[in-house]
Structure 1
Amino acid sequence: MEFVILTGLSGAGKTNALHAMEDSGYYCVDNLPPLLLETFYDLCDNSTDNRMKKVAVVADARSGEMFADIPEVISKLRLEGKQFKILFLDAKPNTLLVRFKGTRRKHPLIGEIASGSIEEAVELENELMNGVKAMADYVIDTTFMNPNELMERVTTLFSAGAHDTLLVTCVSFGYKYGLPPEADMVLDVRCLPNPFYIKELKPLTGLDEQVRNYICGFDVMGEFLDHLYAFIDYLISLYRNEGKSELVIGVGCTGGKHRSVTVARMLNTHLLENGQKSAIHHRDIWKA
Protein backbone atom coordinates (compact mmCIF):
# COMPACT_ATOMS: atom_id res chain seq x y z
CA MET A 1 0.00 0.00 0.00
CA GLU A 2 1.09 3.55 -0.73
CA PHE A 3 -0.02 6.00 1.95
CA VAL A 4 0.93 9.70 1.83
CA ILE A 5 0.27 12.28 4.52
CA LEU A 6 0.06 15.71 2.92
CA THR A 7 0.50 18.64 5.29
CA GLY A 8 2.07 22.08 5.49
CA LEU A 9 1.30 25.75 5.83
CA SER A 10 -2.05 27.24 4.91
CA GLY A 11 -1.75 28.96 1.54
CA ALA A 12 1.27 26.89 0.49
CA GLY A 13 -0.70 24.94 -2.13
CA LYS A 14 -2.06 21.79 -0.48
CA THR A 15 -5.26 21.89 -2.56
CA ASN A 16 -3.32 21.95 -5.84
CA ALA A 17 -1.01 19.21 -4.57
CA LEU A 18 -3.99 17.05 -3.64
CA HIS A 19 -5.47 17.53 -7.11
CA ALA A 20 -2.16 16.40 -8.64
CA MET A 21 -2.16 13.28 -6.47
CA GLU A 22 -5.75 12.51 -7.38
CA ASP A 23 -4.80 12.81 -11.06
CA SER A 24 -1.95 10.37 -10.35
CA GLY A 25 -4.41 7.73 -9.17
CA TYR A 26 -4.50 8.33 -5.41
CA TYR A 27 -7.67 8.07 -3.34
CA CYS A 28 -7.65 11.45 -1.59
CA VAL A 29 -9.13 12.57 1.73
CA ASP A 30 -8.97 16.19 2.86
CA ASN A 31 -8.80 17.53 6.42
CA LEU A 32 -8.54 14.26 8.34
CA PRO A 33 -8.05 14.78 12.12
CA PRO A 34 -4.58 13.47 13.11
CA LEU A 35 -6.02 11.11 15.72
CA LEU A 36 -7.85 9.25 12.94
CA LEU A 37 -4.73 8.65 10.85
CA GLU A 38 -3.96 5.25 12.38
CA THR A 39 -7.57 4.05 12.11
CA PHE A 40 -7.82 5.19 8.50
CA TYR A 41 -4.45 3.63 7.64
CA ASP A 42 -5.58 0.28 9.03
CA LEU A 43 -8.90 0.47 7.16
CA CYS A 44 -7.06 1.07 3.89
CA ASP A 45 -4.46 -1.60 4.59
CA ASN A 46 -7.13 -4.21 5.35
CA SER A 47 -9.42 -3.22 2.49
CA THR A 48 -9.85 -5.53 -0.50
CA ASP A 49 -10.70 -2.55 -2.71
CA ASN A 50 -7.70 -1.76 -4.93
CA ARG A 51 -8.65 1.92 -4.91
CA MET A 52 -7.65 2.03 -1.23
CA LYS A 53 -4.09 0.86 -1.92
CA LYS A 54 -2.93 4.30 -3.11
CA VAL A 55 -4.10 6.87 -0.59
CA ALA A 56 -3.29 10.51 0.18
CA VAL A 57 -4.69 12.31 3.23
CA VAL A 58 -4.43 15.96 4.20
CA ALA A 59 -3.92 16.73 7.89
CA ASP A 60 -3.23 20.34 8.78
CA ALA A 61 -3.98 23.28 11.06
CA ARG A 62 -7.67 23.21 10.25
CA SER A 63 -7.88 20.46 12.90
CA GLY A 64 -7.21 23.16 15.50
CA GLU A 65 -5.84 21.96 18.82
CA MET A 66 -5.95 18.34 17.62
CA PHE A 67 -3.13 19.05 15.17
CA ALA A 68 -0.67 19.39 18.06
CA ASP A 69 -0.91 15.59 18.42
CA ILE A 70 0.37 14.82 14.92
CA PRO A 71 4.11 14.39 15.74
CA GLU A 72 3.17 11.84 18.41
CA VAL A 73 0.77 10.08 16.03
CA ILE A 74 3.39 9.89 13.27
CA SER A 75 6.03 8.59 15.67
CA LYS A 76 3.63 5.87 16.83
CA LEU A 77 2.85 4.85 13.24
CA ARG A 78 6.53 4.53 12.43
CA LEU A 79 7.27 2.54 15.58
CA GLU A 80 4.53 0.12 14.53
CA GLY A 81 6.26 -0.35 11.17
CA LYS A 82 3.53 1.26 9.08
CA GLN A 83 4.81 2.37 5.66
CA PHE A 84 3.97 5.90 4.58
CA LYS A 85 5.50 9.14 3.33
CA ILE A 86 4.99 12.72 4.50
CA LEU A 87 4.85 15.60 2.01
CA PHE A 88 5.18 19.04 3.60
CA LEU A 89 4.40 22.23 1.65
CA ASP A 90 6.18 25.36 2.81
CA ALA A 91 6.38 29.01 1.72
CA LYS A 92 7.84 32.28 2.94
CA PRO A 93 5.58 34.26 5.33
CA ASN A 94 5.38 37.29 3.01
CA THR A 95 4.25 35.05 0.15
CA LEU A 96 1.56 33.46 2.31
CA LEU A 97 0.31 36.90 3.33
CA VAL A 98 0.03 38.02 -0.29
CA ARG A 99 -1.85 34.83 -1.20
CA PHE A 100 -4.32 35.19 1.65
CA LYS A 101 -4.95 38.85 0.89
CA GLY A 102 -5.36 38.03 -2.80
CA THR A 103 -7.95 35.29 -2.24
CA ARG A 104 -9.56 37.00 0.79
CA ARG A 105 -9.77 33.65 2.54
CA LYS A 106 -9.71 33.40 6.32
CA HIS A 107 -6.63 31.83 7.87
CA PRO A 108 -7.64 28.71 9.87
CA LEU A 109 -5.85 29.99 12.99
CA ILE A 110 -7.19 33.54 12.86
CA GLY A 111 -9.60 32.70 15.69
CA GLU A 112 -6.62 31.96 17.95
CA ILE A 113 -5.27 35.51 17.52
CA ALA A 114 -6.85 38.14 19.72
CA SER A 115 -5.86 40.94 17.34
CA GLY A 116 -7.23 39.11 14.31
CA SER A 117 -3.89 39.66 12.55
CA ILE A 118 -3.14 37.41 9.57
CA GLU A 119 0.58 38.04 10.13
CA GLU A 120 0.36 36.64 13.66
CA ALA A 121 -1.73 33.68 12.46
CA VAL A 122 0.93 32.79 9.88
CA GLU A 123 3.64 33.06 12.54
CA LEU A 124 1.67 30.86 14.93
CA GLU A 125 1.13 28.21 12.27
CA ASN A 126 4.85 28.19 11.46
CA GLU A 127 5.59 27.41 15.09
CA LEU A 128 2.89 24.75 15.22
CA MET A 129 4.24 23.06 12.07
CA ASN A 130 7.92 22.86 13.04
CA GLY A 131 7.62 19.38 14.54
CA VAL A 132 5.91 17.70 11.59
CA LYS A 133 8.10 19.54 9.06
CA ALA A 134 11.19 18.01 10.67
CA MET A 135 9.63 14.55 10.18
CA ALA A 136 8.72 15.02 6.51
CA ASP A 137 10.16 12.87 3.73
CA TYR A 138 9.56 15.61 1.15
CA VAL A 139 9.54 19.38 1.72
CA ILE A 140 8.51 21.59 -1.20
CA ASP A 141 8.91 25.34 -0.86
CA THR A 142 6.27 26.90 -3.13
CA THR A 143 7.35 30.53 -2.63
CA PHE A 144 8.46 30.93 -6.24
CA MET A 145 6.12 28.33 -7.78
CA ASN A 146 2.90 28.84 -9.65
CA PRO A 147 0.13 26.21 -9.30
CA ASN A 148 1.11 24.38 -12.49
CA GLU A 149 4.75 24.10 -11.41
CA LEU A 150 3.71 22.73 -8.03
CA MET A 151 1.38 20.17 -9.58
CA GLU A 152 4.14 19.08 -11.97
CA ARG A 153 6.56 18.64 -9.07
CA VAL A 154 4.06 16.58 -7.06
CA THR A 155 3.17 14.48 -10.09
CA THR A 156 6.87 13.73 -10.63
CA LEU A 157 7.21 12.68 -7.01
CA PHE A 158 4.24 10.36 -6.89
CA SER A 159 3.19 9.33 -10.39
CA ALA A 160 5.36 6.21 -10.25
CA GLY A 161 4.64 5.46 -6.61
CA ALA A 162 5.60 6.98 -3.29
CA HIS A 163 7.93 4.12 -2.42
CA ASP A 164 10.05 4.31 -5.56
CA THR A 165 13.78 4.95 -5.44
CA LEU A 166 15.40 8.28 -4.64
CA LEU A 167 14.21 11.25 -6.71
CA VAL A 168 16.81 13.88 -7.61
CA THR A 169 15.41 17.34 -8.36
CA CYS A 170 17.69 19.85 -10.09
CA VAL A 171 16.67 23.45 -9.34
CA SER A 172 18.32 26.27 -11.29
CA PHE A 173 18.26 29.65 -9.56
CA GLY A 174 19.82 33.11 -9.44
CA TYR A 175 21.84 34.18 -6.42
CA LYS A 176 20.44 37.70 -6.76
CA TYR A 177 17.04 36.24 -5.80
CA GLY A 178 18.27 34.16 -2.86
CA LEU A 179 19.07 30.52 -2.26
CA PRO A 180 16.35 27.86 -2.78
CA PRO A 181 15.45 26.94 0.80
CA GLU A 182 14.51 23.36 -0.13
CA ALA A 183 17.97 22.57 -1.56
CA ASP A 184 19.96 19.82 0.18
CA MET A 185 23.10 20.99 -1.57
CA VAL A 186 23.98 24.00 -3.73
CA LEU A 187 26.30 24.10 -6.74
CA ASP A 188 27.72 27.54 -7.60
CA VAL A 189 28.40 27.76 -11.36
CA ARG A 190 29.34 31.46 -11.43
CA CYS A 191 32.87 30.23 -12.15
CA LEU A 192 31.85 29.33 -15.71
CA PRO A 193 31.98 31.71 -18.72
CA ASN A 194 28.99 34.05 -18.63
CA PRO A 195 26.83 34.45 -21.79
CA PHE A 196 25.23 37.53 -20.20
CA TYR A 197 28.06 39.67 -21.57
CA ILE A 198 27.59 38.47 -25.14
CA LYS A 199 25.16 40.84 -26.86
CA GLU A 200 23.31 38.25 -28.95
CA LEU A 201 23.12 35.75 -26.06
CA LYS A 202 22.03 38.11 -23.27
CA PRO A 203 18.26 37.98 -24.08
CA LEU A 204 18.34 34.17 -24.43
CA THR A 205 18.30 31.52 -21.69
CA GLY A 206 19.94 28.20 -20.97
CA LEU A 207 17.04 26.56 -22.82
CA ASP A 208 18.46 27.92 -26.09
CA GLU A 209 21.01 25.88 -28.01
CA GLN A 210 23.16 28.96 -28.70
CA VAL A 211 23.72 29.51 -24.97
CA ARG A 212 24.55 25.87 -24.35
CA ASN A 213 26.97 25.81 -27.29
CA TYR A 214 28.71 28.93 -26.00
CA ILE A 215 29.22 27.57 -22.49
CA CYS A 216 30.21 24.11 -23.69
CA GLY A 217 32.61 25.61 -26.20
CA PHE A 218 35.16 26.26 -23.46
CA ASP A 219 37.62 23.47 -22.60
CA VAL A 220 36.99 23.95 -18.87
CA MET A 221 33.37 22.82 -19.29
CA GLY A 222 34.23 19.25 -20.22
CA GLU A 223 36.47 18.78 -17.19
CA PHE A 224 33.92 20.54 -14.98
CA LEU A 225 31.14 18.17 -16.03
CA ASP A 226 33.31 15.08 -15.61
CA HIS A 227 34.04 16.04 -12.00
CA LEU A 228 30.43 17.09 -11.36
CA TYR A 229 28.90 13.86 -12.69
CA ALA A 230 31.33 11.68 -10.74
CA PHE A 231 30.69 13.62 -7.52
CA ILE A 232 26.90 13.60 -7.83
CA ASP A 233 26.78 9.91 -8.79
CA TYR A 234 28.84 9.10 -5.69
CA LEU A 235 26.62 11.22 -3.43
CA ILE A 236 23.44 9.67 -4.80
CA SER A 237 24.63 6.22 -3.81
CA LEU A 238 25.21 7.44 -0.25
CA TYR A 239 21.83 9.19 -0.01
CA ARG A 240 20.08 6.12 -1.39
CA ASN A 241 21.76 3.88 1.19
CA GLU A 242 20.49 6.22 3.92
CA GLY A 243 16.94 5.77 2.65
CA LYS A 244 16.47 9.40 1.58
CA SER A 245 13.40 9.95 -0.60
CA GLU A 246 14.42 13.12 -2.44
CA LEU A 247 17.68 14.96 -3.07
CA VAL A 248 17.29 18.58 -4.19
CA ILE A 249 20.34 20.03 -5.91
CA GLY A 250 20.38 23.79 -6.37
CA VAL A 251 22.42 25.04 -9.34
CA GLY A 252 23.02 28.76 -9.12
CA CYS A 253 24.46 31.56 -11.24
CA THR A 254 24.02 35.31 -10.89
CA GLY A 255 20.59 35.74 -12.50
CA GLY A 256 19.39 32.16 -12.91
CA LYS A 257 18.92 32.40 -16.69
CA HIS A 258 22.02 31.13 -18.49
CA ARG A 259 24.72 29.08 -16.76
CA SER A 260 22.58 27.59 -13.99
CA VAL A 261 19.85 26.54 -16.43
CA THR A 262 22.39 24.98 -18.79
CA VAL A 263 24.20 23.00 -16.09
CA ALA A 264 20.94 21.91 -14.40
CA ARG A 265 19.65 20.61 -17.74
CA MET A 266 22.86 18.73 -18.46
CA LEU A 267 22.93 17.22 -14.98
CA ASN A 268 19.28 16.18 -15.26
CA THR A 269 19.95 14.55 -18.65
CA HIS A 270 22.99 12.72 -17.26
CA LEU A 271 20.94 11.34 -14.37
CA LEU A 272 18.05 10.21 -16.58
CA GLU A 273 20.43 8.53 -19.04
CA ASN A 274 21.91 6.57 -16.12
CA GLY A 275 18.49 5.33 -14.97
CA GLN A 276 18.15 7.77 -12.08
CA LYS A 277 14.68 9.18 -11.37
CA SER A 278 15.20 12.92 -11.88
CA ALA A 279 13.20 16.13 -12.33
CA ILE A 280 14.09 19.73 -13.11
CA HIS A 281 12.73 23.15 -12.11
CA HIS A 282 13.99 26.53 -13.37
CA ARG A 283 13.04 28.90 -10.57
CA ASP A 284 14.22 32.28 -11.86
CA ILE A 285 14.59 31.81 -15.59
CA TRP A 286 11.87 34.28 -16.60
CA LYS A 287 12.68 36.98 -14.06
CA ALA A 288 14.09 40.30 -15.25
Structure 2
Amino acid sequence: MVASQTDDPQRILLVTGMLGAGKSTVLRELEDLGWEAIDNFPIRLLDRLIGPEDDSYPLAIGCDCRTRGFVPSDIIEQAKALTNDGRIELTTVFLDCAGHELERRFNETRRRHFLAADLPVSSGIAAERELLAPLRRWAEVLIDTTNFSVNDLKLAVRERFAPSASQQLTVTVSSFGFSRGMPPSADLVFDMRFIDNPHWVEQLRPMTGLDAPVGEHIERDPTFPGAFAKIADLVTELLPRYAAQGKTYVNIAFGCTGGRHRSVYSAQKLAGVLHAAGFSPTVIHRNLGARATELVEDAQHP
Protein backbone atom coordinates (compact mmCIF):
# COMPACT_ATOMS: atom_id res chain seq x y z
CA MET A 1 0.00 0.00 0.00
CA VAL A 2 1.39 3.37 -1.03
CA ALA A 3 1.22 6.01 1.67
CA SER A 4 -0.96 8.99 0.89
CA GLN A 5 0.53 12.42 0.68
CA THR A 6 -1.05 13.33 4.01
CA ASP A 7 0.54 10.39 5.84
CA ASP A 8 4.00 10.62 7.32
CA PRO A 9 6.30 7.86 6.04
CA GLN A 10 7.35 5.18 8.50
CA ARG A 11 10.81 5.92 9.89
CA ILE A 12 13.22 3.03 9.50
CA LEU A 13 16.87 2.84 10.48
CA LEU A 14 18.99 0.17 8.84
CA VAL A 15 21.95 -0.65 11.09
CA THR A 16 24.75 -2.60 9.45
CA GLY A 17 28.52 -2.77 9.35
CA MET A 18 31.49 -4.86 10.38
CA LEU A 19 31.07 -7.74 12.81
CA GLY A 20 32.41 -6.61 16.18
CA ALA A 21 31.91 -2.91 15.44
CA GLY A 22 29.03 -2.52 17.92
CA LYS A 23 25.74 -3.28 16.14
CA SER A 24 24.18 -4.99 19.16
CA THR A 25 25.07 -2.04 21.39
CA VAL A 26 23.51 0.39 18.91
CA LEU A 27 20.28 -1.62 18.67
CA ARG A 28 19.96 -1.90 22.46
CA GLU A 29 20.48 1.84 22.84
CA LEU A 30 17.91 2.61 20.14
CA GLU A 31 15.46 0.33 21.91
CA ASP A 32 16.00 2.29 25.12
CA LEU A 33 15.27 5.46 23.14
CA GLY A 34 11.88 4.17 22.02
CA TRP A 35 12.73 2.48 18.72
CA GLU A 36 11.44 -0.99 17.94
CA ALA A 37 14.57 -3.02 17.23
CA ILE A 38 14.96 -6.22 15.22
CA ASP A 39 18.32 -7.89 14.64
CA ASN A 40 19.37 -10.10 11.73
CA PHE A 41 16.06 -9.62 9.93
CA PRO A 42 16.08 -10.72 6.25
CA ILE A 43 15.82 -7.44 4.37
CA ARG A 44 13.95 -9.12 1.51
CA LEU A 45 11.00 -9.43 3.92
CA LEU A 46 10.98 -5.73 4.75
CA ASP A 47 7.73 -5.21 2.81
CA ARG A 48 5.90 -7.28 5.42
CA LEU A 49 6.93 -4.89 8.20
CA ILE A 50 5.54 -1.84 6.44
CA GLY A 51 1.88 -1.05 6.71
CA PRO A 52 -0.70 1.38 8.04
CA GLU A 53 -1.62 -0.75 11.05
CA ASP A 54 1.05 0.47 13.49
CA ASP A 55 3.77 2.78 12.25
CA SER A 56 3.74 5.11 15.26
CA TYR A 57 7.11 3.84 16.47
CA PRO A 58 10.34 4.16 14.50
CA LEU A 59 11.86 0.84 13.52
CA ALA A 60 15.54 -0.13 13.71
CA ILE A 61 16.63 -3.18 11.72
CA GLY A 62 20.04 -4.76 12.18
CA CYS A 63 21.67 -6.82 9.46
CA ASP A 64 25.19 -7.99 8.64
CA CYS A 65 26.98 -10.67 6.68
CA ARG A 66 25.40 -13.37 8.87
CA THR A 67 21.85 -12.34 7.91
CA ARG A 68 20.12 -14.77 5.55
CA GLY A 69 20.06 -13.51 1.99
CA PHE A 70 22.54 -10.73 2.72
CA VAL A 71 23.51 -9.23 -0.64
CA PRO A 72 24.49 -5.55 -0.30
CA SER A 73 23.58 -4.57 -3.87
CA ASP A 74 20.11 -6.14 -3.50
CA ILE A 75 19.58 -4.41 -0.16
CA ILE A 76 20.41 -1.03 -1.70
CA GLU A 77 18.04 -1.56 -4.63
CA GLN A 78 15.20 -2.67 -2.37
CA ALA A 79 15.72 0.30 -0.04
CA LYS A 80 15.67 2.68 -3.02
CA ALA A 81 12.40 1.21 -4.26
CA LEU A 82 10.75 1.54 -0.86
CA THR A 83 11.86 5.12 -0.31
CA ASN A 84 10.94 6.22 -3.83
CA ASP A 85 7.24 5.37 -3.39
CA GLY A 86 7.00 7.34 -0.14
CA ARG A 87 6.18 4.48 2.20
CA ILE A 88 9.22 4.82 4.41
CA GLU A 89 11.92 7.25 5.42
CA LEU A 90 14.98 5.03 5.56
CA THR A 91 18.40 5.94 6.93
CA THR A 92 21.36 3.57 6.81
CA VAL A 93 23.93 3.55 9.59
CA PHE A 94 27.23 1.82 8.87
CA LEU A 95 29.44 0.83 11.81
CA ASP A 96 33.08 0.60 10.86
CA CYS A 97 36.19 -0.25 12.86
CA ALA A 98 39.88 -0.64 12.11
CA GLY A 99 41.04 -4.18 11.37
CA HIS A 100 43.54 -4.38 14.23
CA GLU A 101 40.87 -3.39 16.74
CA LEU A 102 38.39 -5.91 15.33
CA GLU A 103 41.04 -8.62 15.63
CA ARG A 104 41.60 -7.65 19.26
CA ARG A 105 37.87 -7.82 20.00
CA PHE A 106 37.49 -11.23 18.35
CA ASN A 107 40.51 -12.57 20.21
CA GLU A 108 39.19 -11.29 23.55
CA THR A 109 35.78 -12.90 23.03
CA ARG A 110 37.31 -16.05 21.47
CA ARG A 111 34.66 -16.03 18.78
CA ARG A 112 35.26 -17.19 15.23
CA HIS A 113 34.64 -14.76 12.43
CA PHE A 114 31.63 -15.81 10.36
CA LEU A 115 33.64 -15.62 7.11
CA ALA A 116 36.79 -17.28 8.47
CA ALA A 117 35.81 -20.65 9.87
CA ASP A 118 39.19 -22.27 9.11
CA LEU A 119 41.22 -19.13 8.43
CA PRO A 120 42.83 -16.41 10.55
CA VAL A 121 40.37 -13.79 11.75
CA SER A 122 42.18 -11.17 9.64
CA SER A 123 41.15 -13.06 6.51
CA GLY A 124 37.50 -13.00 7.54
CA ILE A 125 37.67 -9.28 8.29
CA ALA A 126 39.23 -8.56 4.90
CA ALA A 127 36.58 -10.60 3.07
CA GLU A 128 33.80 -8.91 5.03
CA ARG A 129 35.15 -5.43 4.31
CA GLU A 130 35.17 -6.17 0.59
CA LEU A 131 31.63 -7.56 0.74
CA LEU A 132 30.28 -4.54 2.63
CA ALA A 133 32.02 -1.85 0.57
CA PRO A 134 28.86 -0.91 -1.44
CA LEU A 135 26.83 -0.46 1.76
CA ARG A 136 29.56 1.61 3.35
CA ARG A 137 29.63 3.96 0.36
CA TRP A 138 25.83 4.22 0.30
CA ALA A 139 25.21 4.76 4.03
CA GLU A 140 24.13 8.23 5.17
CA VAL A 141 25.65 7.82 8.64
CA LEU A 142 29.12 6.36 9.22
CA ILE A 143 30.29 5.70 12.79
CA ASP A 144 33.88 4.57 13.31
CA THR A 145 34.05 2.76 16.65
CA THR A 146 37.79 2.03 16.60
CA ASN A 147 38.52 4.24 19.60
CA PHE A 148 35.05 4.11 21.18
CA SER A 149 34.17 2.66 24.53
CA VAL A 150 30.65 1.25 24.90
CA ASN A 151 29.57 4.51 26.54
CA ASP A 152 31.10 6.53 23.69
CA LEU A 153 29.03 4.57 21.19
CA LYS A 154 25.85 4.95 23.22
CA LEU A 155 26.42 8.68 23.41
CA ALA A 156 26.94 8.89 19.64
CA VAL A 157 23.63 7.08 19.09
CA ARG A 158 21.76 9.36 21.49
CA GLU A 159 23.20 12.49 19.89
CA ARG A 160 21.98 11.41 16.45
CA PHE A 161 18.73 9.56 17.08
CA ALA A 162 17.28 10.47 20.49
CA PRO A 163 14.26 12.77 20.65
CA SER A 164 15.28 15.98 22.42
CA ALA A 165 13.05 15.11 25.37
CA SER A 166 14.82 11.80 25.84
CA GLN A 167 18.27 13.34 26.22
CA GLN A 168 17.54 14.70 29.67
CA LEU A 169 18.43 12.75 32.79
CA THR A 170 15.66 11.37 34.94
CA VAL A 171 16.64 12.68 38.38
CA THR A 172 15.06 11.56 41.64
CA VAL A 173 15.76 13.26 44.96
CA SER A 174 14.63 11.21 47.93
CA SER A 175 14.71 11.27 51.71
CA PHE A 176 14.92 8.26 54.00
CA GLY A 177 15.59 7.17 57.55
CA PHE A 178 18.70 5.13 58.29
CA SER A 179 16.66 3.30 60.93
CA ARG A 180 14.61 1.75 58.13
CA GLY A 181 17.57 0.86 55.93
CA MET A 182 19.35 2.61 53.07
CA PRO A 183 17.65 2.82 49.65
CA PRO A 184 19.26 0.13 47.46
CA SER A 185 18.98 2.12 44.22
CA ALA A 186 20.60 5.36 45.41
CA ASP A 187 23.53 6.64 43.35
CA LEU A 188 24.53 9.41 45.77
CA VAL A 189 23.77 9.25 49.51
CA PHE A 190 24.24 12.18 51.90
CA ASP A 191 24.05 11.58 55.64
CA MET A 192 22.44 14.60 57.31
CA ARG A 193 22.66 13.30 60.88
CA PHE A 194 25.36 15.87 61.68
CA ILE A 195 22.63 18.56 61.85
CA ASP A 196 20.92 19.46 65.10
CA ASN A 197 17.86 17.20 65.24
CA PRO A 198 14.44 18.98 65.29
CA HIS A 199 12.95 15.84 66.84
CA TRP A 200 14.32 16.95 70.20
CA VAL A 201 12.46 20.25 70.06
CA GLU A 202 9.01 19.55 71.48
CA GLN A 203 7.16 22.01 69.25
CA LEU A 204 8.88 20.69 66.12
CA ARG A 205 8.59 16.97 66.84
CA PRO A 206 5.14 16.46 65.27
CA MET A 207 6.14 18.50 62.22
CA THR A 208 8.19 17.40 59.21
CA GLY A 209 10.85 18.87 56.98
CA LEU A 210 8.05 20.25 54.82
CA ASP A 211 7.03 22.68 57.57
CA ALA A 212 8.66 26.13 57.68
CA PRO A 213 9.59 26.07 61.42
CA VAL A 214 11.57 22.86 60.91
CA GLY A 215 13.41 24.39 57.95
CA GLU A 216 14.22 27.51 59.96
CA HIS A 217 15.61 25.34 62.78
CA ILE A 218 17.83 23.42 60.36
CA GLU A 219 19.06 26.60 58.66
CA ARG A 220 20.14 27.99 62.04
CA ASP A 221 22.54 25.08 62.52
CA PRO A 222 25.92 26.72 61.73
CA THR A 223 27.18 23.62 59.91
CA PHE A 224 24.22 23.28 57.54
CA PRO A 225 24.57 26.22 55.08
CA GLY A 226 28.17 25.54 54.15
CA ALA A 227 27.75 21.76 53.98
CA PHE A 228 24.61 21.99 51.87
CA ALA A 229 26.23 24.46 49.48
CA LYS A 230 29.06 22.00 48.87
CA ILE A 231 26.57 19.16 48.30
CA ALA A 232 24.60 21.26 45.82
CA ASP A 233 27.76 22.26 43.95
CA LEU A 234 28.88 18.63 43.76
CA VAL A 235 25.54 17.36 42.48
CA THR A 236 25.12 20.06 39.83
CA GLU A 237 28.63 19.33 38.58
CA LEU A 238 28.13 15.54 38.51
CA LEU A 239 24.76 15.34 36.76
CA PRO A 240 26.00 16.52 33.34
CA ARG A 241 28.95 14.16 33.67
CA TYR A 242 26.61 11.24 34.39
CA ALA A 243 24.60 12.16 31.29
CA ALA A 244 27.77 12.25 29.20
CA GLN A 245 28.63 8.73 30.35
CA GLY A 246 25.27 7.41 29.21
CA LYS A 247 23.53 7.20 32.57
CA THR A 248 19.75 7.59 32.25
CA TYR A 249 18.56 7.61 35.87
CA VAL A 250 20.19 9.25 38.89
CA ASN A 251 18.81 8.87 42.42
CA ILE A 252 20.13 11.30 45.03
CA ALA A 253 19.19 10.34 48.58
CA PHE A 254 19.37 12.25 51.86
CA GLY A 255 19.24 10.29 55.09
CA CYS A 256 18.68 11.11 58.73
CA THR A 257 17.68 8.96 61.69
CA GLY A 258 13.94 8.69 61.13
CA GLY A 259 13.49 10.22 57.68
CA ARG A 260 11.06 12.95 58.77
CA HIS A 261 12.95 16.20 59.41
CA ARG A 262 16.54 16.80 58.29
CA SER A 263 16.56 14.53 55.24
CA VAL A 264 13.16 15.77 54.06
CA TYR A 265 14.16 19.42 54.26
CA SER A 266 17.49 18.76 52.52
CA ALA A 267 15.85 16.82 49.69
CA GLN A 268 13.28 19.58 49.12
CA LYS A 269 15.95 22.25 49.11
CA LEU A 270 18.17 20.38 46.64
CA ALA A 271 15.19 19.81 44.35
CA GLY A 272 14.72 23.58 44.25
CA VAL A 273 18.38 24.07 43.35
CA LEU A 274 18.13 21.49 40.55
CA HIS A 275 14.96 23.08 39.18
CA ALA A 276 16.80 26.40 38.99
CA ALA A 277 19.66 24.64 37.17
CA GLY A 278 17.32 23.32 34.47
CA PHE A 279 16.61 19.81 35.73
CA SER A 280 13.17 18.37 36.52
CA PRO A 281 13.68 16.18 39.59
CA THR A 282 11.06 13.94 41.13
CA VAL A 283 10.95 14.17 44.93
CA ILE A 284 10.14 11.10 47.04
CA HIS A 285 9.99 11.04 50.86
CA ARG A 286 10.21 7.35 51.64
CA ASN A 287 9.57 7.38 55.38
CA LEU A 288 7.52 10.52 55.74
CA GLY A 289 4.41 9.67 57.72
CA ALA A 290 5.81 6.41 59.10
CA ARG A 291 4.75 6.49 62.75
CA ALA A 292 7.39 3.97 63.78
CA THR A 293 10.16 6.47 63.09
CA GLU A 294 9.21 8.50 66.17
CA LEU A 295 9.80 5.50 68.41
CA VAL A 296 13.14 4.86 66.76
CA GLU A 297 14.31 8.45 67.22
CA ASP A 298 13.22 8.43 70.87
CA ALA A 299 15.45 5.40 71.45
CA GLN A 300 18.53 7.00 69.92
CA HIS A 301 20.86 9.78 70.92
CA PRO A 302 19.98 13.05 69.18
TM-score w.r.t. length of structure 1: 0.50
**Larger helix share, 1 or 2:** 1
Higher Cα Rg, which structure: 2
TM-score w.r.t. length of structure 2: 0.48
